[in-house]
Structure 1
């Protein structure tokens, strides 16, 4: 009986290790394509939580690459001018073109809370703005949540160093592995 339990545990451990290594490789293989082409969509959905993401969203809006900007995962009491204090330097942007999602706390929540906003804004396509490291899990979560008729284009940015450490990639792969069981 003990040997059966041992082999069952060994098999389960091997499967989890295989899945983790697979997720790790997928997280690390995410490429930045936004540098080689000019992005364009009805809306951009920016996932907060990393350096440069919100500013990239505003750059897309001011450069008219998108018509509306959804910033997902801001603090519940946050105000637009607090999030983007350099707003006056962006010219004549309208606050009506920016929607703040104050309810999301996770990547899954970002997708769930952004969908009704995107639908209300009548966006046919979106640019998903997050870090390169976070893009694999984010894109898969959004793709699993959003209907097929809404096209999602990846718009990854560098949120620090270009290459992530093994520790950072491993932690993201672990989160992606967890998400693969219930979110996508």
Structure 2
């Protein structure tokens, strides 16, 4: 899907922003502030983190209500993001979501979410502009490796801890 300018986005029930690189969370809050989504799920937040710590600029966004933000604090991987976000999405009764992550991460994230979400829930990718540091050779190679091996990697805990 080609990138869509934020002001041309249709409306979604929920946005799911995946933590992990600079700019993702800020972009999620911008989409929420523009009322393109009703609820924002920030997936993969460290367990002791408070809202003001991940987005200290919140007081400057009077159009955002803290009730419209859910911090998902259980997941530690893209697979975990998908599984844990699904529980929140279902609780909020979201029928369509905007998946917000970086260009480098989107292929694997979208594929993982699509495999774990029911077909009735529409998932639309929203790619944010990559930071200058995200497209290093090492980052690209790491993401390529993860994309190729992710189906096997996600089975490791199941194989050893079931």
Class of the TM-score when normalised by the shorter of the 2 chains = 0.7 to 0.9
- The partner residue of 2:102 within 124, 131, 138 is 131
- TM-score by length of structure 2 reads 0.87
TM-score (norm 1): 0.77
Q: Which residue of 2 aligns with 1:157?
A: 128
Q: Which moved more, 1:100-109 or 1:165-174?
A: 165-174
Count residues with an aligned counterpart.
Answer: 154
In 1, the alpha carbon distance for the partners of 2:150 and 2:52 equals 33
2:144 counterpart of 1:173: yes
Q: Which residue of 1 aligns with 2:21?
A: 50
Structure with a larger share of its residues in strand: 2
Map of 1:101 onto structure 2: 72
Using the TM superposition, give the Cα deviation of residue 52 of structure 1 relative to its aligned residue in structure 2, in angstroms. 0.7
Deviating beyond 6 angstroms after TM superposition, the runs of 4 or more aligned structure 1 residues are none
Larger-Rg structure: 1
1 or 2, which has the higher helix percentage? 1
Q: What corresponds to 1:34 in structure 2?
A: 4
Structure 2 CA distance, aligned partners of 1:86 and 1:48?
Answer: 17
Deviates more, 1:164-173 or 1:59-68: 164-173
Gaps of 5+ in 2: 155-162
Deviation at 1:171, TM superposition (A): 1.3
- RMSD between aligned residues: 2.0
Gaps of at least 5 residues in structure 1 are 1-30
Higher deviation after alignment, 161-170 or 103-112: 161-170
Greater relative contact order (CA < 8 Å, ≥ 6 in sequence): 1
Partner Cα separation in structure 2 for residue 129 and residue 92 of structure 1: 20
